[in-house]
Structure 1
Amino acid sequence: MMTAANRITTTLLNRRPEARTISIQDLLDVVARGGVRIPSFQRGLKWDRMDAKLLLESLYRGYPVGTLLLWETAAPAGEGRIGSLTMPAPQMENALWVVDGQQRIVSLARILLAADPDKDAFALYFDLDSADFVIPAATSKRGTDPSRWLPMTVVLDAEKLMQWLFVHTADPSSRQRRDTAIQLGRRIREYEIPAYIVRSDDQAILRDIFSRINSAGKPLNLSDVFDALNGSRFQSRPSTMSEISSELEKLAFGRIEERILHRLLRVLQGLPVMESTRSESLRLADAEAEEAYQRTAATAS
């Protein structure tokens, strides 16, 4: 019989998390006013400028960038520091503490809120000709063609952006650059990130949520990613790593480990042998995969 001493208790949230979306402009407005805080149990910043660049590219393209998890509760007065940014953090009853999303929020703040477009280590410009995000070092010719490179520090504020455009793109020949800059600003400012808002005074619950989010699930290995991207819609050829390996074995090539096979396929596609978190995932078009399989089969026969 279970007694009070050994009974297991489960802590429950009294209120379900609120699901909502928040625009980049509204989110960073709260950051600038000191309304976003980082709890002590959060890890330090792990991202670098290339990670932040990928995030900006995803926002510009309209890709999903994940969900934020924020804890709404009281916060004491202090001073917030994010990269080169220092901002007052007044005492608040409804501050938003970041449970999940610190890397994204901090990166956005460092790129879009910095006072100096070149000072922060995350600083980026937007090349209005190639429509690409670039580091300050890549804009060394700004003096001869200043209207080409847009500092990301003016994008969040529509008025600042228009002032920059008035100074740098007044010439009729710069119309395309001006249109590109306006589109960029709108897509970044208006991008809506999904977020859960948790309201609870029990920090232990938030620690539990944080632990579960950051430890749940199993990461995909390279074969899983390949299979997801290349699952064939046809039955005439193998399409997963396991199927390709099995077919090669039937063709007297011997059994090739999926890890080695993945690297061989990357070489054939002209990609780096070792795949990093930032490298392009291996994806084969149906036509070229079909042709490659037929050629391999013909060679072995």
Structure 2
Amino acid sequence: MPVEKTERSIKMLIDQISAGEIKLPEIQRGYVWQPTQVAKLIDSLYREYPSGSLLLWKTGETPLTRDAAIGATPQESTVPPLYLLDGQQRLTSLHRIFNNHDDAQIVFDIENETFQNQSSSTKNDSRWIKVYDVLRDDADLFEMQGNLLDADVRASSKEIGRRLSKLAAIKNRIYYMELLVGFGYDEIAQIFVRVNSGRALKTTDLTLAMLSARWPGILQKLEDEAAYWTQRHYPDLDVTFLTRALAGAVLGRGLSTWSHSRLVAATDDALNAGWKTVQRGLRHLVPLLKENLKITSSALIPSHMALLPLVIFLGERPDMPLDTETRDGILYWFLLANLRNRYSSSTDTMLGRDIPTVREPEPIRKLLANLGVIGTRIEITPQDLTGKTRESAYFPLSYLVAKKAGALDWWFGTEISAIAEDHIKLEHHHIHPQATLKNHPKRYSKAEINDLANLAFISGKANRKISDRSPSVYFVDDGPPLTKEELAAHFVPYDEPLRDAASYREFLAERRRLLAAAMTELLDSFRPTWLTQAAAPAEVQPGSTLEFVLYQSRWDISKIVATARVDDVTWTGSFSFDGLVAAIDAASNGLDSDLEVAGQTTPVQVEGDTVKIAVGPYLVSGTIEAWRDMMAHEQDQALPLSQLPNLEEAPWIGELIAFPVSSVE
């Protein structure tokens, strides 16, 4: 029979794990349960609720294994071990409880029959007893019963004894088991994936399960690499990230439910080459970010997906020095890709465009073209920062500009550091404390109070010293007053009137102005000089014109009326201004879309940094910034929607003539 059915008590299973008779195959993911989940498992077993069955593999093979998270090294088994496929979280949790693991200190309220993780309050409450003390082999339930009675627990002696016995009986609860016999590792990996396909396993977990079957040792490679970066303050370069990076190197795209099977099917040579690319790329990229941008921790990176194209570019390029323009182009693209949320949606599609790009000639130029920034200068405005919070990509950028300005902690006088520890560990501090803003007569909203422009980076000790005092107080009363230079390095305005909560909105506006200017300066410092070389505008045929007039309304759909003239022909049509804005926003993320022009759906084409839209007899083209400049100009000249003329519109039928958006009148 390929499947054997049997049963074991919990105590027997725990002993088998300790004896090395039950092991975890490499395909298993790590232990992820939190103490609350462990407490719920014990509660279910106490109440004799069903808690599932177990699936194990019995084989004559010797597959690679991974260590169980039990905090101890199992003995060498004297019998062929079984390999646990389903039930790791439960059995690991139970082993931890039975062996008094520090992270499984589950306690039992004898009065209310509830379970939770140990806390400072339960330690000093006689009603709570540790589950381990009841389950241990030398537990004296009679003595425990007497101690509880002496502590005046509100339960009868008989009831206390019953509850203790019921808890102790957990060790004898039975788990039903299915043993898979005679299956090879490939089939076991398939079964593991199918068993877990309906659970909260990520695509990367399923990918690793399949990969480990045909590339033994891959999980250890990934975990070793992740540990290497964790020790260097980059814990987000974890197994999940590295698996995605491997997929990018091998497949040239992101990791998805569609692509993970292709990764598993790759040849050994392709997998080995991809892994070398990932390792080499990271060892080139991380120092570049650390030394040139002062990104000393992965916590300062809004989107780790933005690392992938650069990892592959640096991992595959010849072993030669980076020229200044390429180095700056890499950093410039990285900053902009994060600010523009390049991979916030359609991640796989975006990576499928950007990763192949880095394998082409002039890769960095083409990456920037994908962002639509060739021939333009990106300027961050105070409006860009309005309403932004610590969740925004602008928040870590505000740290980078403060770091560049030499900002010091307001207590220790040391340079701010994202990797500082202990008493100088960095925190984000509300310059105007929440206590002075809440319930203020000016009714500041929660979003305003937590605005990015109200956050500065100082040590936890300085933050606690300031507490809830107003800047009008702590700027001058904590020993030596904060100097204009010290505040300026954090881009905090020095103007005394702005320190009062009544002027908080004016404070936000001024600090946004200072931050925006510093952020723009940082971007400019890495902007390659060749980006200023804008593409030459297309020639406009003599006598050809295209005029846009915007008719705008606050409560209805705003429209642009386009009038095109070519030779002796005049064409007039209209389209939604809001639809155009949405199309250009989509284009900034590299996405094609549609726009209805004169009643006909027209594709909005995105080709690198160029957007093309057919408007009447013209194929209007230009960079994203050029389109936005045109839209801003039209808004400045907008007429009321009530003045919109009645139009007899018809789609253009005929050849299209190239027309630059910069020449629209």
Once the two structures are TM-superposed, the CA of residue 208 in structure 1 deviates from its matched residue by 1.6
Deviation readout 1:231-286 (Å, 9 max, x if unpaired) = xxxxxxxxxxxxxxxxxxxxxxxxxxxxxxxxxxxxxxxxxxxxxxxxxxxxxxxx
Is 1:101 aligned with 2:87? yes
Aligned partner of 1:141 in structure 2 is 124
Compared CA separation, residues 92 and 173, structure 1 to 2 (3 A): same
Pick one of 177, 192, 197 that aligns with 1:195.
Answer: 177
Is 1:59 aligned with 2:41? no
Give the Cα–Cα distance (whole angstroms) in 1 for the partners of residues 180 and 63 of structure 2.
19
SS in 2 for 1:86: coil
Compared CA separation, residues 164 and 126, structure 1 to 2 (3 A): farther
Aligned partner of 1:229 in structure 2 is none
> Number of matched residues?
194
Compared CA separation, residues 77 and 40, structure 1 to 2 (3 A): closer
Once the two structures are TM-superposed, the CA of residue 161 in structure 1 deviates from its matched residue by 4.5
Once the two structures are TM-superposed, the CA of residue 79 in structure 1 deviates from its matched residue by 10
Determine which structure has the larger helix proportion and give its number: 2
Aligned partner of 1:160 in structure 2 is 139
Greater relative contact order structure (CA < 8 Å, 6+ sep) = 1
Q: What TM-score do the two structures reach when normalised by structure 1?
A: 0.56
Q: What value does the CA root-mean-square deviation take over the aligned residues?
A: 3.1
Is 1:151 aligned with 2:130? yes
Deviation readout 1:161-207 (Å, 9 max, x if unpaired) = 43762773475967232331112111x12211111012236222211
Compared CA separation, residues 34 and 150, structure 1 to 2 (3 A): farther
**1:268-287 correspondence to structure 2 within 5 Å:** none
Aligned partner of 2:6 in structure 1 is 20
Is 1:206 aligned with 2:188? yes
SS in 1 for 2:192: helix
Give the Cα–Cα distance (whole angstroms) in 1 for the partners of residues 66 and 192 of structure 2.
24
Give the Cα–Cα distance (whole angstroms) in 2 for the partners of residues 164 and 94 of structure 1.
41
Is 1:113 aligned with 2:99? yes
Give the Cα–Cα distance (whole angstroms) in 1 for the partners of residues 142 and 187 of structure 2.
47
SS in 2 for 1:89: coil
Identity rate, percent: 27
Q: Is the 8 A contact 1:79 1:86 kept in 2?
A: no
Once the two structures are TM-superposed, the CA of residue 44 in structure 1 deviates from its matched residue by 1.2
Compared CA separation, residues 28 and 120, structure 1 to 2 (3 A): same
Compared CA separation, residues 161 and 26, structure 1 to 2 (3 A): farther
Compared CA separation, residues 80 and 61, structure 1 to 2 (3 A): same
Q: Is the 8 A contact 2:68 2:92 kept in 1?
A: no
SS in 1 for 2:163: helix
Once the two structures are TM-superposed, the CA of residue 120 in structure 1 deviates from its matched residue by 1.6
Is 1:184 aligned with 2:171? no
Deviation readout 1:60-112 (Å, 9 max, x if unpaired) = 111111111011246699995524x2133304442121111111111111122
- Bigger Rg, which one: 2
Partner AA of 1:82 in structure 2: A
Compared CA separation, residues 185 and 208, structure 1 to 2 (3 A): same
Compared CA separation, residues 33 and 163, structure 1 to 2 (3 A): farther
Compared CA separation, residues 59 and 209, structure 1 to 2 (3 A): same
Give the Cα–Cα distance (whole angstroms) in 1 for the partners of residues 139 and 133 of structure 2.
5
Q: What TM-score do the two structures reach when normalised by structure 2?
A: 0.27
SS in 1 for 2:139: helix
Is 1:129 aligned with 2:111? yes
Partner AA of 2:175 in structure 1: I
Stretches of structure 1 lacking an aligned partner (at least 5 in a row): 1-14, 219-301
SS in 2 for 1:20: strand
Give the Cα–Cα distance (whole angstroms) in 2 for the partners of residues 185 and 217 of structure 1.
31
Aligned partner of 2:417 in structure 1 is none
Partner AA of 2:193 in structure 1: S
